[in-house]
Structure 1
Amino acid sequence: MFGQRGSSRSRVALAGALSVGLAFSLAACGDSDDSESGTTDSSAAAIDCSPYTKFGDIKGKQVTIYTGIVTPEDTPHKESYKPFEQCTGATIKYEGDKAFETQVLVRAKAGNPPDLAFVPQPGLLQQLVATGKAVEAPAETSANVDKWFGEDWKAYGTVDGKFYAAPLGANVKSLVWYSPQEFKDKGYTVPTTLAELQTLTDKIVTDGGKPWCAGISSGEATGWPVTDWVEDFVLRTAGPEAYDQWVKHEIPFNDPKIATAFDAVGNYLKNDKYVNGGLGDVKSIASTTFQDAGLPILDGQCSLHRQASFYAANFPADTKIAEDGDIYAFYLPGQDATAKPVLGGGEFVLAFADRPEVKAFQTYLSSDVWANTKAKVSSGWVSANKGLKVENLKNPIDQLSATILLDPNATFRFDGSDMMPAAVGSNAFWKQATNWITGQDTKTTVDNIEKAWPQ
Structure 2
Amino acid sequence: MSAPPGGPATAAPAPRRRPSRRPVRVATVVASCLAVLAAAAVAGVRTLGHEPAVTLLANWTGGDETHFREAVIEPFERKYRIRVDYQGSNAESQVLGADVEAGTPPDVVVLTGPGELAGYARQKQLVPLEKLVRREDFGPSWATRLTDGHVYWFPLKADVKSIVWYPADVGAQELRKAAGRPAAWCVGMGSGATSGWPGTDWIEDILLQRYGPAVYERWVRGDLPWDSPQVKAAWTTWQRLVGAGGDRELVRRALKTPYQSASLPVARHPRGCVLEHQASFIRGRPAWQQADGRYVSSAELIPGASAPRGWEVSGDLVALLHDTPQARKLIRYLASVDAQRAWNEGESGFSVHAGLPAAADPGSAWHRSLALTLRDPQAVHCFDASDAMPPAVRDAFAEAAIEFLAHPGRLDRLLRSLDTLAGTPGLTWLPSVCDGT
Provide the residue aligned with 1:327 in structure 2.
Answer: 293
Q: Does 1:355 align with 2:346?
A: no
Contact 1:418–1:426 (CA<8 Å) still a contact in 2? no
* Higher Rg: 1
2:154 to 149, 166, 170: 166
In the alignment, which residue of structure 1 is the partner of 2:62?
71
Aligned-partner SS, 1:214: coil
**1:15-414 correspondence to structure 2 within 5 Å:** 61-79=52-70, 80-141=72-133, 143=134, 145-146=135-136, 148-155=137-144, 158=146, 160-183=148-171, 188=173, 200-202=175-177, 211-218=184-191, 221-270=194-243, 281=250, 285-298=254-267, 299-316=270-287, 320=289, 326-333=292-299, 335-337=305-307, 339=308, 341-376=310-345, 378-390=346-358, 392=361, 398-414=367-383
| Deviation sequence 1:302-351 (CA, Å, 0-9, x none) | 332212223235434xx635xxx5333333237454x4522232222211
TM-score by length of 2: 0.73
1:41 match = none
SS in structure 1 of the partner of residue 239 of structure 2: helix
Name the SS of the counterpart of 2:54 in structure 1: strand
Contact 1:64-1:116 at 8 Å conserved across structures: yes
**Pairwise CA distance, 1:100:** 2.9
- Given that 2:337 and 2:353 are in contact with CA atoms closer than 8 Å, whether structure 1 keeps it comes out as yes
Deviation at 1:254, TM superposition (A): 0.4
Moved over 6 A (4+): none
The answer on whether the counterparts of 1:214 and 1:288 sit within 8 Å (CA) in structure 2 is yes
Q: Quote the offset at 1:429 in angstroms.
A: 4.6
Q: SS of the residue aligned with 1:78? A: helix
**Secondary structure of the corresponding residue to residue 87 of structure 2:** strand
Q: Which amino acid aligns with 1:307?
A: Q
Q: 1:222 to 1:90 in 2, by over 3 A?
A: closer
- Aligned residue for 1:228, secondary structure, equals helix
User: Percent same amino acid among aligned pairs?
Assistant: 25
Q: Measured at CA, do residues 85 and 101 of structure 1 come closer, stay the same or move farther in structure 2, by a change above 3 Å?
A: same
In 1, Cα distance between equivalents of 2:220 and 2:182: 37
Specify the SS of the correspondent of 1:413: strand
Q: Which AA in structure 2 matches 1:384?
A: V
Q: Which secondary structure state, in structure 2, belongs to the residue aligned with residue 11 of structure 1?
A: coil
Distance in 1, Cα, partners of 2:96 & 2:90: 11
User: Could you tell me how far 1:252 is from its partner in structure 2?
Assistant: 0.9
Once the two structures are overlaid, the 10-residue window that deviates more, 244-253 or 300-309, is 300-309
Paired residue for 1:11?
6
Shift in alpha-carbon separation, 1:102–1:340, aligned structure 2, 3 A: same
Matched AA of 2:208: L
Q: Which amino acid aligns with 2:6?
A: R
Q: Which residue of 2 aligns with 1:19?
A: none
Q: How far off is 1:379 after superposition? A: 4.6
Contact 1:117 1:349 in 2 (8 A): yes
- Kept in 2: contact 1:375–1:392 (CA 8 A): no
Q: 2:329 & 2:194 partners in 1: Cα distance?
A: 38
Distance 1:13-1:175 versus aligned 2 partners, 3 A rule? farther
Task: State the AA in 1 paired with 2:139.
Answer: G
Shift of 1:414: 2.4
> Contact 2:116/2:391 (CA < 8 Å) preserved in 1?
no
Counterpart of 2:225 in 1: which secondary structure?
Answer: coil
How much has 1:161 moved relative to structure 2?
Answer: 1.9
**Unpaired segments ≥5 residues, structure 1:** 16-58, 190-199
5+ long unaligned stretches in structure 2: 11-49, 425-437
Deviation at 1:69, TM superposition (A): 2.0
Distance 1:388 1:164, change over 3 A: same
Q: For the aligned residues, what is the CA RMSD?
A: 3.6
Q: Residues 430 and 395 of structure 1: is their aligned pair in 2 closer, same or farther, counting only changes over 3 Å? A: farther
